């Protein structure tokens, strides 16, 4: 059965099937995740020769490895002999070469075949050990932006810089915030399973108006907590990052949203730069390294979630990257990586971890109500109670930008922008408005 994708996407609404149909999910794996540049990991996760880190790009299990020449390679985690995953899932060190557990075929850390047992057994057979098909297959393209490694499963398409467009500045600012200009992954990775289609999570990242409704339980709890403190108590960081969701809709309206081609975008920062001792010590370290004027320029880039569609969401001011891995049409894995700003005081990283513990961890007080909402959407969309999902709010009011568009904070521009990219990857044009 062919699917008329053209009929499912309009500029301001989408059909429920794009979230619920397993056949469309498989097409997305081929066409969206098979074409786009996808975030793999950060180079600091494989600091030494033979260090590896496994992940999943679309349906494909892949491994990022540091080769003897210092280059980072990304290849399919599959032995060309019998098909076994060569390294176990996770991260570690393979030593000087990769060795398959099953029959001991070994490969250099760039995937090229090094040796096989019983080489003589292949003499005069059709199996040519010099053929690239007996080396570990590399993903089609790998590129890095400031240490953030991306891969594309397709040999065709724009270069990484062109692909990132306007959100490259978020990755730049992520690094520029380090007094030494570099970041490194540290402190472990939190993993959360969501029972919803991956697109529901992406849309939520820039859905400002859900916060006051969905997060009432956590922002009210934070406000009550603060009110119970003695008068004059400075508002603790733990309260600030939770009660902000209770801001009224006119607060969010004033924030600017940017959307870029290929579905990317970012939201202007919702938190006023904090003035607690930890923050001030960090600013002092940045000023000492970069000078006051440059430090000010760096810190003025104050953004909440950035979207790098369709694989990750960096948070530049609290040094997190959430990596989104669709598992099935109604199941999504989100992995949260924390980063250390090189050259910053230790307490800066400890605050990064505090943010991830409070906001991103599976035990977050904020997220369960999101997960509940996503799941109720997923379940509701399977019903016959309606066919279409609205993205109409502030449609037709976007401001054009080079390579993208801007809108007020409560616009559903980001969702429309992501679906325009989705339609393009899927090979259709978002049809005419109803």
Partner 1 sequence: MNFSNWQEQQEISGFLFHEARLLDEHRWDEWQRLFTPDGLYWVPLVHGQADHLNHASLFCEDALLRSMRARRLDQARAYSQQPATRTVHVLGNVALESRSDTGCVVRSAFMLLEWRKTEQRAFGGSVLHTLEREGGEWRIRMKRIDLVNCDAPHEALQVFM
Minimum distance from residue 91 beta carbon to partner 1 (Å): 12
* Phi-psi domain of 408 (left: phi exceeds 0; alpha: psi -120 through 50; beta: other): beta
Tokens of 295: 């430090």
239 binds partner 1 (CB under 8 A): yes
Q: Which of residues 312-341 bind partner 1 (CB under 8 A)?
A: 333, 336, 338
Cis omega (within 30 of 0) on the bond before 347?
no
238 binds partner 1 (CB under 8 A): yes
d(CA 91, CA 39): 16
Minimum distance from residue 213 beta carbon to partner 1 (Å): 9
Out of 127, 193, 280, 288, name the contact with partner 1 by CB under 8 A.
Answer: 193
Q: Which of residues 96-155 bind partner 1 (CB under 8 A)?
A: none
Binding mask 361-400 for partner 1 (x = CB under 8 A): xxxxx-xxx-xxx---------------------------
Tokens of 169: 């500045």
Out of 153, 211, 353, 413, name the contact with partner 1 by CB under 8 A.
Answer: 353
Out of 86, 113, 139, 242, name the contact with partner 1 by CB under 8 A.
Answer: 242
Out of 217, 328, 382, 390, name the contact with partner 1 by CB under 8 A.
Answer: 217
Q: Please, which residue, 30 or 225, has the CB nearer to partner 1?
A: 225
Minimum distance from residue 313 beta carbon to partner 1 (Å): 17
Q: At residue 433, what are phi and psi to the nearest 5 degrees?
A: -65, 155
Contact 272, 241 (CB under 8 A): no
Minimum distance from residue 228 beta carbon to partner 1 (Å): 8
Tokens of 434: 């109803």
**What are the Cα distances from residue 304, in Å, to 87, 168, 169, 272?**
36, 15, 13, 11
343 binds partner 1 (CB under 8 A): no
d(CA 80, CA 138): 11
Which of 365, 370, 66, 413 lies closest to 264, judged by CA?
Answer: 413
Q: Please, which residue, 35 or 190, has the CB nearer to partner 1?
A: 190
44 binds partner 1 (CB under 8 A): no
- CB-side neighbour CA atoms (13 Å) of 185: 22
Size of the site for partner 1 (CB under 8 A): 44
**What are the Cα distances from residue 374, in Å, to 47, 338, 380?**
37, 24, 10
- CB-side neighbour CA atoms (13 Å) of 170: 29
Radius of gyration in angstroms for the set of CA atoms belonging to the chain, rounded to a whole number: 23
342 binds partner 1 (CB under 8 A): no
Q: Interface with partner 1 by CB under 8 A: which range of 139-147, 267-275, 349-357, 392-400?
A: 349-357
218 binds partner 1 (CB under 8 A): yes
Minimum distance from residue 90 beta carbon to partner 1 (Å): 9
Q: Interface with partner 1 by CB under 8 A: which range of 2-10, 26-34, 111-119, 210-218?
A: 210-218
Q: Residue 110: helix, strand or coil by DSSP?
A: coil
Label residue 149 exposed, middle or buried (CB < 10 Å: 0-12, 13-18, 19+): buried
Contact residues for partner 1, defined by CB under 8 A:
186-195, 214, 216-218, 220-222, 224-225, 236, 238-239, 242, 333, 336, 338, 346, 349-350, 353, 356-358, 361-365, 367-369, 371-373
């Amino acid at each position: 059965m062919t699917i008329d994708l053209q009929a499912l996407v309009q500029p301001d609404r989408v059909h429920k099937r794009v979230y619920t149909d397993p056949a469309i999910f498989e097409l997305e794996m081929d066409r969206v995740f098979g074409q786009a540049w996808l975030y793999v990991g950060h180079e600091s996760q494989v600091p030494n020769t033979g260090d590896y880190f496994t992940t999943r790009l679309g349906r494909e299990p892949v491994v990022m490895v540091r080769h003897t020449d210092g280059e980072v390679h990304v290849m399919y985690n599959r032995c060309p002999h019998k098909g076994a995953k060569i390294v176990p899932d996770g991260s570690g060190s393979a030593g000087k070469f990769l060795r398959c557990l099953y029959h001991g075929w070994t490969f250099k850390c760039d995937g090229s075949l090094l040796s096989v047992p019983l080489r003589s057994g292949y003499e005069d057979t059709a199996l040519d050990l010099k053929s690239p098909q007996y080396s570990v297959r590399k993903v089609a393209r790998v590129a890095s932006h400031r240490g953030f490694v991306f891969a594309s499963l397709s040999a065709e398409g724009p270069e990484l810089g062109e692909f990132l467009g306007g959100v490259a500045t978020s990755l730049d600012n992520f690094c520029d915030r380090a007094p030494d200009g570099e970041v490194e992954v540290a402190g472990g990775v939190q993993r959360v399973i969501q029972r919803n289609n991956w697109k529901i999570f992406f849309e939520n990242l820039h859905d400002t108006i859900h916060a006051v409704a969905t997060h009432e339980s956590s922002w009210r709890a934070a406000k009550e907590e603060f009110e119970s403190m003695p008068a004059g108590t400075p508002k603790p960081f733990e309260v600030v990052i939770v009660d902000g969701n209770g801001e009224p809709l006119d607060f969010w309206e004033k924030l600017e949203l940017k959307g870029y081609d290929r579905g990317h975008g970012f939201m202007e920062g919702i938190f006023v730069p904090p003035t607690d001792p930890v923050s001030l010590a960090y600013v002092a370290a940045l000023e000492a390294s970069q000078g006051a004027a440059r430090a000010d320029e760096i810190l003025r880039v104050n953004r909440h979630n950035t979207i790098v569609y369709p694989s990750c969401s960096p948070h530049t001011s609290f040094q997190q990257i959430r990596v989104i891995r669709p598992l099935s049409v109604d199941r999504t894995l989100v992995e949260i990586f924390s980063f250390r700003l090189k050259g910053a005081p230790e307490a800066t990283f400890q605050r990064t971890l505090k943010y991830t513990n409070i906001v991103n961890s599976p035990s977050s007080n904020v997220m369960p109500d999101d997960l509940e909402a996503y799941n109720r959407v997923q379940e509701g969309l399977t019903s016959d109670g309606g066919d279409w999902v609205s993205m109409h709010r502030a449609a037709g009011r976007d401001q054009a930008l080079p390579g993208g568009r801007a809108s007020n904070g409560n616009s559903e521009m980001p969702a429309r922008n992501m679906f325009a990219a989705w339609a393009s990857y899927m090979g259709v044009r978002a049809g005419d408005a109803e």
